[in-house]
Amino acid sequence: MAKILIPTALRQFTCQQDAVDVTAGTVGEALRALTDKFPDVRKNLFSDQGKLRSFVNVYVNDEDIRYLEKDATKLNGGDTVSIVPSIAGGSASVAEAEEVALSNEEVMRYSRHLILPEVGMEGQLKLKKAKIILIGAGGLGAPLGLYLAAVGVGRIGVVDFDVVDLSNLQRQVIHGTGDLGRKKLDSAADKMQDINPHLKIDKYDVGLTSENALEILRDYDIVIDGTDNFPTRYLVNDACVLLKKPNVYGSIYRFEGQATVFAYEDGPCYRCLYPEPPPPGLVPSCAEGGVLGILPGMIGIIQATEAVKIILGEGTTLKGRLLLYDAMNMAFRELKLQRDPACPVCGDHPTVTKLIDYQEFCGIHPPAVAVPAAAGAGVIDPVDVKQKLDRGDNFVLIDVREPHEYQICRIPGAKLIPLGELPKHLNELDPDGDIVAHCKSGARSQKAVDLLKQNGFKNVRNMTGGILAWSDRVDPTVPKY
């Protein structure tokens, strides 16, 4: 008997079970028992050729068994098999020639550090000389910015081009209600400067791209990844490997987080763990899947702690260990990571020697390409949907969001069929009927439209902009979330 731990992203296929007990003698048998029991798991875990997909790792207890033959990997009674998919965040070269010293004010400010032997005056001066860059001033960037400013890091670069939105304030504690509509960069910098006027802040009001990443990151000792999308994650990873900078990684999703240190000394990089991104849409973003407001605080503070340890050259970092945090069960686990000699970036014979097009790598096509195909017959404006409803047109409006989203707000007359359940409900819809699909913002409903068309439905349209656009343009009493 072995236990298979199911990650959040796959629980939708296991009737929400987070662990499944199977009777199996090997890892291969265990995974087959799982997919026999829950057939929908199969296509997410295995390719059509039956090969384990490369954005999924399998561990037995805390050992990575990716390179082992699954059918030959024996399981003992009580073993735990973990399925860990990627989730859609040298003693730093503080070799600055510049002499630094602490003022009397700084001695008082950092006195609780100065009396720690592991920090002391020498460590505090290392912090003051250190240069860190934060990619993103959002959920993870908030605790990172606050604490790294407080502990006395001398120079912090922040890369962000976003604006503070009301839905950010549930977790991005570096911004306040008075900052709504301001650039996150300005809001974060003001807060950090207020905490520590000795801090020098470099503001980068841009998105990190393949064109600017090396130039921006080059001047810093440590890169901290607080991003929320796969293209930027791979970009940050590859840039860090190429520049030989430690990449302090964190990511969050719903109630779970991950943290480690990549590309540090001889340790592994993100691509050693996940050579390829998941297909677009498989792993929802926090905007789609939600995130507990406290979670980025926990993971961001772990990242800040790792950055400080790297600067001080003290302690044991997370290099080679992936820390998994489960807030719902208040459980920490860690898995060993190893550098992959065949890694395309940090391996022995790298094939990626310069930055690439990460949108393309992650299978994300710019809207300019996607829209013409969808335009015209395939889409309908929310205002036109309202007119159809008012006229009493004979059509079906399906809402492909999840039931808990339907609880927040709905369009009167819409029929709830969550996207994942749509295949089972096709026979309830008329293939010749007039069908409009909507979701929150239009992405999931586009998938619904594609699915219906593949199944022979002729007159199916996607309501552009989803219920958010409905709230903006048709009925402002519908709350936005």
343 is catalytic: no
- Assess whether 409 carries a catalytic annotation: no
Q: Tell me, by CB under 5 A, how many residues bind Zn ion.
A: 5
Our finding on whether 271 is near Zn ion (CB under 5 A) is yes
CB 295 within 8 A of CB 327: yes
Q: Is 242 in the site for Zn ion (CB under 5 A)?
A: no
- CA nearest 435: which of 385, 380, 398, 382? 398
309 part of the interface to Zn ion, by CB under 5 A: no
Strand, coil or helix: 214: helix
Among 2, 119, 307, 346, binds Zn ion (CB under 5 A): 346
Choice between 126 and 271, CB closer to Zn ion: 271
Backbone angles phi, psi at 330, to 5 degrees: 45, 60
Nearer Cβ to Zn ion (59/264): 264
Strands 80-85, 2-5: pairing kind: parallel
Tell me the window of 186-194, 277-285, 320-328, 337-345 that interacts with Zn ion (CB under 5 A).
337-345
Site for Zn ion in 357-396 (CB under 5 A): none
| Complex with Zn ion: residue 22 or 345, whichever CB lies closer | 345
Provide the sign of the torsion angle of the four alpha carbons 320, 66, 42, 50, taken in this order: positive
Residue closer to Zn ion (CB basis): 269 or 295: 269
Cβ proximity to Zn ion: between 59 and 234 the closer is 234
Q: Which of 286, 346, 362, 409 is catalytic?
A: 286
Side-by-side strand order, sheet with 247-253: 200-204, 155-159, 131-135, 222-225, 247-253, 256-262, 321-326, 331-336
User: Residue holding tokens 């406290």?
Assistant: 294
Q: How far is the CB of 241 from Zn ion (least distance, A)?
A: 7
Structure token digits, residue 342? 């065949």
Nearest approach, Cβ of residue 339 and Zn ion (Å):
6
The strand pairing partners of 84, in sequence order, are 57
Asked if 322 interacts with Zn ion (CB under 5 A), we say no
Helix residue spans in 68-119 (DSSP H): 104-109, 111-114
Nearest distance in Å: CB 344, Zn ion: 8
Q: Take residue 337 and report the two structure tokens written for it.
A: 């990571």
Among 158, 343, 439, 467, which residue sits at the site for Zn ion (rule: CB under 5 A)? 343
Closest residue to bound Zn ion by CB = 343
Taking CB under 5 A as the criterion, the residue among 272, 291, 380, 411 binding Zn ion is 272
Stretch that binds Zn ion, among 32-40, 195-203, 270-278, 461-469 (CB under 5 A): 270-278
The string of DSSP letters for 76-117 reads -TT-EEEEEE------------S-----HHHHHHTHHHHTST
**Would you count residue 269 as binding Zn ion (CB under 5 A)?**
yes
The answer to whether residues 211 and 226 touch, using CB atoms and an 8 Å cutoff, is: no
Q: How far is CA 372 from CA 63, 163, 280, in A?
A: 47, 29, 19
Q: What whole-number distance in Å separates Cα of residue 236 and Cα of residue 199?
A: 24
Residue 53 vs 386, nearer CB to Zn ion: 53
Q: How far is the CB of 352 from Zn ion (least distance, A)?
A: 10
Residues annotated as catalytic (active site), given as ranges: 286, 439
Q: List interacting residues with Zn ion (CB under 5 A).
A: 269, 271-272, 343, 346
